[in-house]
Amino acid sequence: MFRRLNRNTLLAFAGMLVGITGLLVQWAANPAKFSAAQGFFGLAFPPGILFIVLAGLLMLATARWCWHSVFGAFIAFWIVGVGGISGQLAPNLVSSNPGTVAGNVVMSAGLILAFGAGIASMVHARRARRLVRN
């Protein structure tokens, strides 16, 4: 299956894995922040992990379509872009906990890569599709 995916799609997956790694670093640095009592749907770990995994699975499930990377680009934009606009990301980037800061930097860098590579993947797939039709 991975042989059909273009390089940009693979980079988007890599960025999403780096984003998950950043969330795991944040969780290790401050597990109380993700306790079941405070967590999303009673989860005791960062819910962003589930959202990123779900986006990756949707990318795989729709790999034959040129727009399949939209899921990775969307979740990356949602977590980093909307998180930044809404003020959710900035406090973690200036936290007194170095693990939280490092985890957020890693997560953000990975998801920014996933966003850019996802957009490039869709453009590449669309252009390739047009060439095949002509």
What are the tens digits of pLDDT across the range 46-103? 889 999 999 999 999 998 888 899 999 999 999 999 999 998 889 888 989 999 999 9
CA distance 26 to 37: 17
Confidence of residue 20 (pLDDT cuts 50, 70, 90): very high
pLDDT of residue 34: 77
CA distance 52 to 24: 12
pLDDT of residue 1: 47
pLDDT of residue 5: 82
Residues ≥6 apart with Cβ < 8 Å to 83? 89
CA distance 108 to 35: 22
Helix, strand or coil for residue 96? coil
